[in-house]
Amino acid sequence: MTAQRCTSYHLTVGGSGAGQDWRLLPTAANDTLIDGTFCEACWPAALAAVRASISDHADAARPFEAVMPAVLVRAYLQHRDVAVRPPDTLDGLRGIIADALRLLDQIQARQGFWWRRAMCSGCGANPRELEITTLPWWNDGAGDYLTTFRCAACLGAAVADTRARLAANGNDDVARICAMFERHNVFLHEHRRGDPPDVVRPLLEQVLARIETGALVLPIGKTQSIA
């Protein structure tokens, strides 16, 4: 793979395993946003700078200047095949700003990875990672909860299936699905301290609801080399 130079000139990402750590992020260039390639050390600050450019303009006296950074973020992502919410469904200029911040927060929650494509296990579509949700799914072959990928169109049905499985199996599945969440750094205190499954199950319902709305993201993480 061709070496990638960090846009912040911190280092060159290349050699063995190149491409696993770098992030592609919107980067200011004159009056537009272009692709910037950032290393593991620099991407959080680069994304924060884009977010701050929107926040800093949120209360500007001139509405056009206030909304332009958000418009640029939405246009940047839309031009790269990310579906953004139609302007007529948003609450005016404030809604456009809020939606741009939401998209950047979703990139942050995915550890800066958003541009890769992931196949939906429901319909086979392969949208950008930003539009894919990772959620728990019962796998008959493994006899356990593993993760599955769903696009926006398939997400609701997949969450409903997982809820139904959890409800139908009484207390048996509580420990299994909690273990799956812990593998993704989501811990339920009540489960870990030994509360009974009847106490933990409603909390699992809340976790699933947060995943469905995007308030909680289980990131796919870095690309792993196949040796």
pLDDT recorded at residue 12: 58
Q: How many structural domains does the chain have?
A: 2
Task: Tell whether 135 and 92 lie within a shared domain.
Answer: no
Annotate 26-42 with DSSP letters as a single string.
Answer: EEEETTEEEEEEE-TTT
Of the three residues 44, 75, 109, the one that is the final residue of a domain is 109
Using the CB atoms, write b or e for 180-207: b if 16+ within 10 Å.
bbeebeeebebbeeeeebeebbebbeeb
**What tokens appear for 118 in the block?**
């992931």
* 103 shares its domain with 12: yes
Q: Which two tokens stand for residue 18?
A: 């190149």
The type of residue at 175 is A
Q: Please name the residues in contact with 75: beta carbons below 8 A apart, sequence gap of 6 or more.
A: 33
Measure the CA–CA gap between 155 and 104, rounded to whole angstroms: 21
In this predicted structure, what is the pLDDT of residue 225?
Answer: 63
State the burial class of residue 124 (Cβ atoms within 10 Å of its Cβ: 0-12, 13-18, 19+). Answer: exposed
Phi then psi for 66, rounded to 5 degrees? -65, -40
Same domain, residue pair 101 and 173: no
- 84: domain range? 4-109
Report pLDDT for 11: 58
Same domain as 11, residue 104: yes
Instruction: From 81, 109, 137, give the residue that closes a domain.
Output: 109
Number of C-beta neighbours around residue 158 at 10 A: 22
Question: Is 0.85 topped by the overall pTM?
Answer: yes
The pLDDT of residue 95 is 94
- If asked whether residues 147 and 79 sit together in one domain, one would say no
Report d(CA 60, CA 44) in Å as an integer. 26
10 Å Cβ neighbour count for 44? 15
Q: Please, what are the averages of pLDDT over each run of 10 residues along the chain (227 residues)?
A: 66 51 91 93 95 80 87 97 94 93 97 96 97 96 96 98 92 93 96 95 97 96 71
> Could you say which DSSP state residue 194 is in?
T
| Residue 121 within a domain | no
Residue 120 in domain? no
Q: What pLDDT is stored for residue 17 in this prediction?
A: 42
List, in sequence order, every beta strand (DSSP E) within 44-193.
Answer: 133-139, 144-150
76 and 139 within one domain: no
3-state secondary structure of 79: coil
Cα separation, 217 vs 14, in Å, equals 29
99 and 34 housed in the same domain: yes
If asked whether residues 25 and 83 sit together in one domain, one would say yes
101 shares its domain with 148: no
**Domain membership flag for residue 166:** yes
The answer as to whether 29 is a domain residue is yes
Could you tell me if 15 and 81 lie in one domain?
yes
- Whether residue 224 lies inside any domain: the answer is no
